[in-house]
Amino acid sequence: MPSEFTVRTHSQEEFIDITNLVREALTSSNVQKGVAVVYVPHTTAGVTINESADHSVVEDILEALRRIVPANLPYRHLEGNAPAHVKASLVGSSVSVLIERGNLLLGTWQGIFFCEFDGPRTRRVWVEVRGE
Ligand code: ZN
């Protein structure tokens, strides 16, 4: 079974840096070389890797997604959260990160972000670590 942790979101749309939570899952796995798959089992949330040093970058991504995915299209999904479903598909529901010497092999400025598009909610994230 993968490791699971929960993320509590506080806004309708929000990116939350989960890099350290993924690191904790990696540490408890004792894997030194391999790959970590981070998977979000939701249809209105996702996960992406981008800059963690400057938080305005993820704010810009959210703003761009709002313009790419209009709120007022004649959506057929009647739950009222169709734009959140579309945004979740655009960012995707998993990322894979290589592992070397027991560490996530991320670029200097990279972080792993949970992407909420229909919050606030309590969400789940699964991390499967494979390797030796
Ligand atoms: Zn829905």
CATH number, domain at 113?
2.60.120.460
Distance (Å) from CA 88 to ligand 1 centroid: 11
Please give the pLDDT value at position 8: 98
Confidence of residue 53 (pLDDT cuts 50, 70, 90): very high
Q: Are strands 122-131 and 3-8 parallel, antiparallel or unpaired?
A: antiparallel
Phi, psi (rounded to 5 degrees) for 100: -135, 135
Å from CA of 52 to ligand 1 middle? 29
For residue 125, the model assigns a pLDDT of 98
81 alpha carbon to ligand 1 midpoint, in Å?
5
- Supply the pLDDT for residue 40: 98
User: Average model confidence (pLDDT) for the chain?
Assistant: 97
Beta bridge partners of 51: 110
- The pLDDT of residue 119 is 98
Q: How far is the CA of 23 from the centre of ligand 1 (A)?
A: 31
Distance, first Cα to last Cα, the chain: 17
Q: Is the peptide bond before 120 cis (omega within 30 degrees of 0)?
A: yes
**CA 65 to centroid of ligand 1, rounded, Å:** 17
pLDDT digits (tens, 9 = 90+) for 56-109: 999 999 999 999 999 999 999 999 999 999 999 999 999 999 999 999 999 999
Number of domains in the chain: 1
Quick check: pTM over 0.85? yes
pLDDT the model gives residue 48: 98
The whole-number pLDDT of residue 69 equals 98
pLDDT at 128: 98
The SS3 assignment for 132 reads coil
Residue 28 Cα, ligand 1 centroid: separation in angstroms?
35
CA of 13 to the centre of ligand 1 (A): 15
Structural domain for 35, as ranges: 3-131
Q: Residue 79 Cα, ligand 1 centroid: separation in angstroms?
A: 5
CA distance 46 to 95: 9
Q: How far is the CA of 126 from the centre of ligand 1 (A)?
A: 21
**Sign, CA torsion 29/106/84/93:** negative
